[in-house]
Amino acid sequence: MTMIPEFAIIGHPNEGKSTVLATLAEDDSVRVSSTPGETIVCQTFPVRIDGREMLRFTDTPGFQNPGRLLSELKNRFSESLDPIKDFRIYAATIPELHDDRELLAPLERGAGVIYIVDGSRPVRNVDKAEMEILRLSGRPRMAIINCKDDEEKHLPAWKNEFRKNFNSNRRFNGHRATYAERISLLEALKSIDQDWQNILEEVISVFKEDWHNRNRVTVDIITTLLEESLHLKLIENISSTSNSKHARAKLFSRYSKELRLKETNAHTQIRRLFKHNIFNYKLPPHSLLHEDLFNQKTWQLLGLAKNQIVIAGGISGAALGAGLDVAALGHGLGMFTAVGCMAGALSAFLGGESVSNNLEIFGVSLGGKQIQIGPTKSIDLLFVLLNRSLLFYQYTINWAHGRRDYESLEQVSSSTARLSGFTRDWPASKIKICHTFLKSVQKANGNGGKPHDDFRKLLFEVIEGVTKKT
Ligand SMILES: Nc1nc2c(ncn2[C@@H]2O[C@H](COP(=O)(O)OP(=O)(O)OP(=O)(O)O)[C@@H](O)[C@H]2O)c(=O)[nH]1
Ligand SMILES: [Mg+2]
């Protein structure tokens, strides 16, 4: 049986211990609260990959009486082989030592120490006592500076203390840490004890592979969403007595509802894949993802740019400039510019006005007793769904598991920096791959809607190119 390394997350109350743990273990079930003393018993969070436990982190209560704890340990130091164990026996019946006794439990069983401090405040005497306790424990230990705000003037003083008491120290922000920062923290943990070096080496390589796999699964989820959405076809029967306008309205509403549902399902799968299971993180207030899938702004910002439509349609820019109807090229904006919004387009369509042509991009056709919608001819639908999924993916991987809200408005705006999608700078070659995929889905209509594997593979690779850069 291989030994599973355990690290206890220790520190003063309310410094962000549980936050750092949640982020490191990618576990959003960890309780985080602005009230000091939230954590009162130790709780171990295993980190599993494919069901195999690789590592465990133990959350602990904050130090209550570090001064007293230090002198109790020092008293036992000269005559006891295991001062921590002896102290824990002694403190079992003393209520005011409950938290201090509890937080030492993982050390008694051999866990390593990750000591957390909020480096944006000055070093105090209690902190020095805490650090000395940990040094006396003799366990391998690393200090982490989790700066709650951007104040840096106290850092040299903290580092000076850390050098005396710890094997290693790092900065790590429980709210903002990325995947790469998590890996580099684990890399640093290797150095605090030689006995852990090999096992942590293995853990890191399994983590890296797992991350790579999750990204590939994400691309697969997005490719499938595109395939299924582009292929979606619905038929409504019109009986001789029924109202055909009503049937068309019903059909379009079913169609848009199904697409929204497919999109939501795909995004939920991505969220789960990145282990955001419990806490439903918030998208920035003015994220485009709050807009409806069929909203003009969404299509303008996330659809193809004009020059890209030209590429996709294989026509000259001059023809476009000369006022050629872009809707004819499968570009949904024509529809929006004609009537302003999808609801307007729909009512115009139902009213039989000339803009009805614009709905052809969704493959609406009327034939005898049936009306049909889809498979779509709109390449924009592909781009809108693709960009929205990539936006969602970007928020998801950058939302640390310990974070429960936005810290400041500034952060909100920086996380919405990318407003116009991921595909705006795509060259002709990539747009053509998307176009070929769309055509292939249309042709596969009688074939269960599965486009040729080669076209799927090409699209997969183009999307993977974005996730590798994100
Ligand atoms: N702005 C900011 N707030 C943070 C950061 N880390 C933690 N916090 C907040 O600080 C508060 C305390 O965080 P916890 O993780 O619960 O702290 P703790 O050390 O586990 O606290 P106890 O369990 O009470 O000892 C919460 O409101 C967190 O959201 C950070 O990096 N930046
Ligand atoms: Mg806590």
- What average pLDDT score do residues 123-144 get? 96
User: Using 50, 70 and 90 to split pLDDT, how confident is the model at 312?
Assistant: low
- What average pLDDT score do residues 338-352 get? 45
Residues 267 and 167 in one domain: no
Say yes or no to pLDDT of 94 above 60.
yes
User: Using 50, 70 and 90 to split pLDDT, how confident is the model at 368?
Assistant: low
**Does residue 208 sit within a domain?**
no
**Does residue 267 sit within a domain?**
yes
**Does residue 122 sit within a domain?**
yes
Tell me how many degrees the CA angle 38-39-41 measures, rounded to the nearest 5. 145
Question: Residue 194, Cβ neighbours under 10 Å: how many?
Answer: 9
**Does residue 205 sit within a domain?**
no
CATH number for the domain spanning 100: value is 3.40.50.300
60 lines ligand 1 (CB under 6 A): no
407 lines ligand 1 (CB under 6 A): yes
Task: State the alpha helices, DSSP H only, in 109-243.
Answer: 125-137, 155-165, 179-190, 194-231
Q: Tell me which ligand sits closest to the C-alpha of residue 17.
A: 1
pLDDT for res 299: 75
pLDDT for res 335: 44
pLDDT for res 332: 46
Residues 128 and 275 in one domain: no
Residues 188 and 221 in one domain: no
Q: Tell me which ligand sits closest to the C-alpha of residue 15.
A: 1
More confident residue, 59 or 453: 59
Q: Tell me which ligand sits closest to the C-alpha of residue 35.
A: 1
The residue whose CA has the least distance to atom 27 of ligand 1 is 34
Question: Residue 133, Cβ neighbours under 10 Å: how many?
Answer: 27
Residues 187 and 218 in one domain: no
Residues 249 and 385 in one domain: yes
Say yes or no to pLDDT of 300 above 90.
no
User: Using 50, 70 and 90 to split pLDDT, how confident is the model at 115?
Assistant: very high
- What average pLDDT score do residues 3-17 get? 95
* Distance (Å, whole) CA 213 – CA 23: 19
User: Using 50, 70 and 90 to split pLDDT, how confident is the model at 469?
Assistant: confident
Residues 188 and 219 in one domain: no
Say yes or no to pLDDT of 341 above 70.
no
**Does residue 58 sit within a domain?**
yes
User: Using 50, 70 and 90 to split pLDDT, how confident is the model at 337?
Assistant: very low
Of 157, 192, 227, the one marking the end of a domain is: 192
pLDDT for res 375: 83
CB 384 within 8 A of CB 401: no
Q: Which chain residues have CB less than 5 Å from ligand 2, an ion?
A: 17-18, 38-39
* Distance (Å, whole) CA 260 – CA 254: 10
User: Ligand 1 centroid to 284 CA: how many Å?
Assistant: 21
User: Ligand 1 centroid to 38 CA: how many Å?
Assistant: 10
Residues 96 and 149 in one domain: yes
Q: What is the DSSP letter of 96?
A: G
Question: Residue 150, Cβ neighbours under 10 Å: how many?
Answer: 6
36 lines ligand 1 (CB under 6 A): yes
Residues 298 and 421 in one domain: yes
User: Using 50, 70 and 90 to split pLDDT, how confident is the model at 295?
Assistant: confident
More confident residue, 420 or 347: 420
User: Ligand 1 centroid to 174 CA: how many Å?
Assistant: 8
The residue whose CA has the least distance to atom 5 of ligand 1 is 148
Residues 238 and 385 in one domain: yes
Residues 221 and 170 in one domain: no
Return the top range by mean pLDDT from 141-155, 274-288, 373-387, 436-450.
141-155
Residue-number span of the structural domain to which 440 is assigned: 214-469
Question: Residue 240, Cβ neighbours under 10 Å: how many?
Answer: 5
- What average pLDDT score do residues 132-148 get? 94
Residues 239 and 116 in one domain: no
The residue whose CA has the least distance to atom 13 of ligand 1 is 16
pLDDT tens digits for range 270-285: 999 999 988 777 777 7
pLDDT for res 306: 65
pLDDT for res 293: 83
Give the contacts of 185 (CB within 8 A, at least 6 positions apart).
24, 144, 170, 172, 177
Question: Residue 455, Cβ neighbours under 10 Å: how many?
Answer: 21
Pocket probe for ligand 1: among 10, 12, 19, 99, the residue whose CB has the most ligand atoms within 8 Å is 19
**Does residue 197 sit within a domain?**
no
More confident residue, 117 or 321: 117
Q: Tell me which ligand sits closest to the C-alpha of residue 16.
A: 1
Of 192, 226, 253, the one marking the end of a domain is: 192
Mean pLDDT computed over every residue of the chain: 83
Of 139, 159, 192, the one marking the end of a domain is: 192
User: Ligand 2 centroid to 61 CA: how many Å?
Assistant: 6
**Does residue 444 sit within a domain?**
yes
Looking at the structure of the chain, the number of domains it has is 2
User: Ligand 1 centroid to 132 CA: how many Å?
Assistant: 23
pLDDT tens digits for range 385-443: 999 999 999 989 989 999 987 555 455 444 444 556 799 889 889 998 998 998 898 88
175 lines ligand 1 (CB under 6 A): yes
More confident residue, 225 or 233: 225
User: Using 50, 70 and 90 to split pLDDT, how confident is the model at 5?
Assistant: very high
pLDDT for res 279: 73
User: Ligand 2 centroid to 198 CA: how many Å?
Assistant: 30
Residues 181 and 258 in one domain: no
- Tell me the backbone φ, ψ of residue 144, rounded to 5 degrees: -120, 130
**Does residue 199 sit within a domain?**
no
pLDDT for res 219: 98
User: Ligand 1 centroid to 151 CA: how many Å?
Assistant: 16
Percent of the chain with pLDDT strictly greater than 70: 81
pTM over 0.75: yes
